[in-house]
Amino acid sequence: MESFQLTSEHTIHRFVLSRCETNCRTVDDIVAVFTWQLESDLSLALLSVFDNYAHAIRCGTTITADIKSAKCFVWCSSPGLLDTSAIPLQIHAIGIADLGDRFAINYEESPYPAVNQMIQDWIAILRSPDVFVRSGLAVALQAANE
């Protein structure tokens, strides 16, 4: 994991995942694994999967040559509603890009340490040889064998 300051207020964490380290073959496969993890926790909700690559094409903007696909996985955590100022902090986004021989996964640090750990755990699951994607759904090898 690499971390860097995008601005003085925004810390970005970047994970680079080689294709040989995961059973995921596409950005959509990674989205499926993240969705699978998110759906196992009732305090989380998927808001959107935004196709940044398609949007850039529609807008006619520049796309770096090594980016083959890029999506943003947008979701909400609910640690409670104790203060109205915390509401916008409950929205999180994970950027996923296909760079040909590897994937880049980026997210902004959350003020909630548990959320940061959750994202890191989700990324670690991508390396598990027991997790794979079938027909757009992520499954654990044990569940697939039942």
Model confidence pLDDT, tens digit, residues 57-108: 999 999 999 999 999 999 998 767 778 888 888 899 999 999 999 999 999 9
How would CATH label the architecture of 2-145? 2-Layer Sandwich (3.30)
Question: Would you kindly state where each structural domain of the chain is located, as residue ranges?
Answer: 2-145
What confidence score (pLDDT) does residue 83 get? 82
Cα(80)–Cα(65) distance, integer angstroms: 42
Return the amino acid letter for 16: V
pTM: 0.88
Helical packing angle, 27-39 and 113-125, nearest 10°: 130
For residue 25, give every residue at least 6 positions away whose Cβ sits within 8 Å of its Cβ, in sequence order, or none: 19, 133
For residue 91, give every residue at least 6 positions away whose Cβ sits within 8 Å of its Cβ, in sequence order, or none: 47, 74, 75, 76
What confidence score (pLDDT) does residue 19 get? 93
What confidence score (pLDDT) does residue 106 get? 96
Cα(53)–Cα(68) distance, integer angstroms: 8
For residue 3, give every residue at least 6 positions away whose Cβ sits within 8 Å of its Cβ, in sequence order, or none: 11, 12, 13, 14, 109
Cα(33)–Cα(124) distance, integer angstroms: 11
First to last CA, the chain: 35
pLDDT band, residue 144 (cuts 50/70/90): very low
Structure tokens at 10: 């925004």
